[in-house]
Protein backbone atom coordinates (compact mmCIF):
# COMPACT_ATOMS: atom_id res chain seq x y z
CA UNK A 1 0.00 0.00 0.00
CA UNK A 2 1.39 3.38 -1.03
CA UNK A 3 1.97 5.93 1.73
CA UNK A 4 -0.63 8.65 2.15
CA UNK A 5 1.80 11.50 1.64
CA UNK A 6 -0.90 14.15 1.75
CA UNK A 7 -1.89 13.17 5.30
CA UNK A 8 1.77 12.78 6.28
CA UNK A 9 2.58 16.31 5.11
CA UNK A 10 -0.49 17.84 6.74
CA UNK A 11 0.38 16.13 10.03
CA UNK A 12 4.09 16.95 9.80
CA UNK A 13 3.58 20.66 9.09
CA UNK A 14 0.75 22.14 11.17
CA UNK A 15 2.04 25.54 9.99
CA UNK A 16 0.27 24.82 6.70
CA UNK A 17 -2.93 25.91 8.43
CA UNK A 18 -1.46 29.41 8.74
CA UNK A 19 -1.27 29.82 4.95
CA UNK A 20 -4.46 31.82 4.47
CA UNK A 21 -4.80 31.36 0.71
CA UNK A 22 -6.36 27.92 0.32
CA UNK A 23 -5.12 27.48 -3.26
CA UNK A 24 -1.55 28.31 -2.18
CA UNK A 25 -1.81 25.89 0.75
CA UNK A 26 -2.83 23.16 -1.71
CA UNK A 27 0.14 23.94 -3.95
CA UNK A 28 2.54 23.65 -1.01
CA UNK A 29 1.01 20.25 -0.23
CA UNK A 30 1.23 19.23 -3.89
CA UNK A 31 4.94 20.09 -4.06
CA UNK A 32 5.73 18.00 -0.99
CA UNK A 33 3.66 15.06 -2.21
CA UNK A 34 5.32 15.14 -5.63
CA UNK A 35 8.79 15.38 -4.08
CA UNK A 36 8.13 12.48 -1.72
CA UNK A 37 6.73 10.31 -4.50
CA UNK A 38 9.61 10.94 -6.90
CA UNK A 39 12.16 10.63 -4.11
CA UNK A 40 10.72 7.24 -3.19
CA UNK A 41 10.35 8.11 0.49
CA UNK A 42 8.11 6.09 2.77
CA UNK A 43 7.74 8.83 5.36
CA UNK A 44 8.40 12.57 5.32
CA UNK A 45 10.04 12.25 8.76
CA UNK A 46 12.81 10.04 7.31
CA UNK A 47 14.43 12.90 5.40
CA UNK A 48 17.42 14.17 7.40
CA UNK A 49 18.26 17.81 7.97
CA UNK A 50 21.59 17.38 6.18
CA UNK A 51 23.41 14.65 4.32
CA UNK A 52 25.64 14.16 7.38
CA UNK A 53 23.33 15.29 10.20
CA UNK A 54 20.61 12.76 10.84
CA UNK A 55 19.89 13.66 14.48
CA UNK A 56 17.53 16.38 13.25
CA UNK A 57 14.90 15.77 10.61
CA UNK A 58 14.16 18.00 7.67
CA UNK A 59 10.63 18.36 9.06
CA UNK A 60 11.98 19.82 12.33
CA UNK A 61 14.21 22.22 10.43
CA UNK A 62 11.49 23.34 8.00
CA UNK A 63 9.07 23.94 10.86
CA UNK A 64 11.71 25.96 12.71
CA UNK A 65 12.51 28.05 9.65
CA UNK A 66 8.82 28.70 9.07
CA UNK A 67 8.28 29.87 12.66
CA UNK A 68 11.39 32.08 12.63
CA UNK A 69 10.52 33.64 9.26
CA UNK A 70 6.91 34.23 10.26
CA UNK A 71 7.83 35.91 13.53
CA UNK A 72 10.48 38.03 11.84
CA UNK A 73 7.94 39.13 9.22
CA UNK A 74 5.44 40.04 11.91
CA UNK A 75 8.11 42.12 13.68
CA UNK A 76 8.93 43.87 10.40
CA UNK A 77 5.28 44.80 10.04
CA UNK A 78 4.86 45.88 13.66
CA UNK A 79 8.03 47.94 14.08
CA UNK A 80 8.79 49.08 10.54
CA UNK A 81 5.40 49.01 8.82
CA UNK A 82 6.85 46.70 6.16
CA UNK A 83 4.48 45.44 3.50
CA UNK A 84 5.53 41.81 3.90
CA UNK A 85 3.34 39.18 2.23
CA UNK A 86 3.07 36.67 5.06
CA UNK A 87 1.48 33.97 2.92
CA UNK A 88 4.50 34.12 0.59
CA UNK A 89 6.81 33.90 3.61
CA UNK A 90 4.95 30.92 5.07
CA UNK A 91 4.69 29.03 1.77
CA UNK A 92 8.31 29.65 0.77
CA UNK A 93 9.59 28.70 4.23
CA UNK A 94 7.56 25.49 4.11
CA UNK A 95 9.00 24.72 0.67
CA UNK A 96 12.56 25.98 1.07
CA UNK A 97 13.92 22.43 1.64
CA UNK A 98 11.37 20.32 -0.25
CA UNK A 99 14.19 19.62 -2.71
CA UNK A 100 15.84 17.41 -0.10
CA UNK A 101 13.27 14.83 -1.18
CA UNK A 102 15.48 14.47 -4.27
CA UNK A 103 18.96 15.32 -3.03
CA UNK A 104 19.26 13.17 0.08
CA UNK A 105 18.16 9.74 -1.15
CA UNK A 106 21.80 8.64 -1.39
CA UNK A 107 22.42 9.51 2.27
CA UNK A 108 19.85 7.31 4.00
CA UNK A 109 19.38 3.59 4.47
CA UNK A 110 17.55 1.81 1.67
CA UNK A 111 14.91 0.68 4.18
CA UNK A 112 13.34 4.16 4.26
CA UNK A 113 12.95 4.32 0.48
CA UNK A 114 10.74 2.66 -2.12
CA UNK A 115 11.96 2.88 -5.71
CA UNK A 116 13.24 6.48 -6.06
CA UNK A 117 12.87 7.91 -9.57
CA UNK A 118 16.48 8.29 -10.80
CA UNK A 119 15.48 11.11 -13.13
CA UNK A 120 14.79 13.28 -10.09
CA UNK A 121 16.23 11.55 -7.01
CA UNK A 122 19.91 12.38 -7.16
CA UNK A 123 22.43 15.01 -6.11
CA UNK A 124 22.76 16.65 -9.52
CA UNK A 125 20.77 19.75 -8.54
CA UNK A 126 21.10 21.47 -5.13
CA UNK A 127 17.95 21.10 -3.05
CA UNK A 128 17.00 24.76 -2.99
CA UNK A 129 17.01 24.83 -6.80
CA UNK A 130 15.10 21.56 -7.16
CA UNK A 131 12.67 22.96 -4.56
CA UNK A 132 12.26 26.03 -6.76
CA UNK A 133 11.52 23.71 -9.69
CA UNK A 134 8.96 21.72 -7.69
CA UNK A 135 7.20 24.93 -6.63
CA UNK A 136 7.15 26.07 -10.25
CA UNK A 137 5.86 22.72 -11.49
CA UNK A 138 2.86 22.72 -9.14
CA UNK A 139 2.01 26.33 -9.97
CA UNK A 140 3.14 28.29 -6.91
CA UNK A 141 3.16 32.04 -7.52
CA UNK A 142 6.44 33.54 -8.74
CA UNK A 143 6.87 35.39 -5.42
CA UNK A 144 6.95 32.05 -3.58
CA UNK A 145 9.25 30.45 -6.14
CA UNK A 146 11.72 33.34 -5.89
CA UNK A 147 11.87 33.06 -2.10
CA UNK A 148 12.89 29.38 -2.09
CA UNK A 149 16.53 29.44 -3.31
CA UNK A 150 18.52 30.33 -0.21
CA UNK A 151 22.19 29.66 -0.86
CA UNK A 152 24.65 32.34 -1.94
CA UNK A 153 24.57 33.20 -5.61
CA UNK A 154 21.46 31.22 -6.51
CA UNK A 155 19.17 34.21 -7.07
CA UNK A 156 20.49 37.59 -8.22
CA UNK A 157 17.65 39.74 -6.82
CA UNK A 158 16.10 39.14 -3.41
CA UNK A 159 12.68 40.17 -2.13
CA UNK A 160 11.85 40.99 1.48
CA UNK A 161 10.11 37.62 1.71
CA UNK A 162 13.14 35.81 0.25
CA UNK A 163 15.44 37.51 2.74
CA UNK A 164 13.19 36.46 5.61
CA UNK A 165 13.33 32.81 4.51
CA UNK A 166 17.09 32.97 3.92
CA UNK A 167 17.85 34.53 7.30
CA UNK A 168 15.47 32.16 9.12
CA UNK A 169 17.18 29.24 7.40
CA UNK A 170 20.58 30.48 8.55
CA UNK A 171 19.36 30.96 12.12
CA UNK A 172 17.89 27.46 12.26
CA UNK A 173 20.89 25.88 10.55
CA UNK A 174 23.37 27.57 12.89
CA UNK A 175 21.44 26.25 15.87
CA UNK A 176 21.39 22.72 14.42
CA UNK A 177 25.08 22.56 13.47
CA UNK A 178 26.05 24.02 16.85
CA UNK A 179 23.87 21.55 18.79
CA UNK A 180 24.82 18.46 16.79
CA UNK A 181 28.45 19.11 15.82
CA UNK A 182 29.62 22.03 17.94
CA UNK A 183 30.35 24.21 14.90
CA UNK A 184 28.71 27.15 13.14
CA UNK A 185 26.95 26.81 9.80
CA UNK A 186 29.82 28.67 8.14
CA UNK A 187 32.32 26.21 9.63
CA UNK A 188 30.13 23.30 8.49
CA UNK A 189 30.05 24.66 4.93
CA UNK A 190 33.83 25.18 4.87
CA UNK A 191 34.52 21.74 6.37
CA UNK A 192 32.17 19.68 4.24
CA UNK A 193 31.88 21.82 1.08
CA UNK A 194 28.57 20.31 -0.06
CA UNK A 195 25.24 22.08 -0.47
CA UNK A 196 24.05 23.66 2.75
CA UNK A 197 21.18 23.08 5.11
Report how far residue 78's alpha carbon sits from residue 96's, in angstroms, rounded to the nearest whole number: 25
Give the pLDDT confidence score for residue 1 in this predicted structure: 57
Helix (H, G, I), strand (E, B) or coil at 49: strand
Asked: is 5-192 a CATH 1.10.3210 domain? The reply is yes
The 10s digit of each residue's pLDDT in 139-185 is: 999 999 999 987 666 665 789 999 999 999 999 999 999 999 999 98
Show me where the domains of the chain are located: 5-192
pLDDT, tens only, 47-61: 999 999 999 999 999
- The answer to whether 197 and 185 have CB atoms below 8 angstroms apart is yes
**Helix, strand or coil for residue 177?**
helix
Q: Which of 60, 65, 57 is CA-nearest to residue 90?
A: 65
Which pTM was predicted? Answer: 0.94
pLDDT digits (tens, 9 = 90+) for 86-129: 999 999 999 999 999 999 999 999 999 999 999 999 999 999 99
Amino acid sequence: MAPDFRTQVEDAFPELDDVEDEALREKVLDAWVLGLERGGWRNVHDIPYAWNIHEVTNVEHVRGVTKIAERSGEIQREFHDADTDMDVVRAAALLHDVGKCYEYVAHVEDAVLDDPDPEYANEDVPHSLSGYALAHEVGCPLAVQRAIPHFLGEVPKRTVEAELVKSANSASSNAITQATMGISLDEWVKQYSQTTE
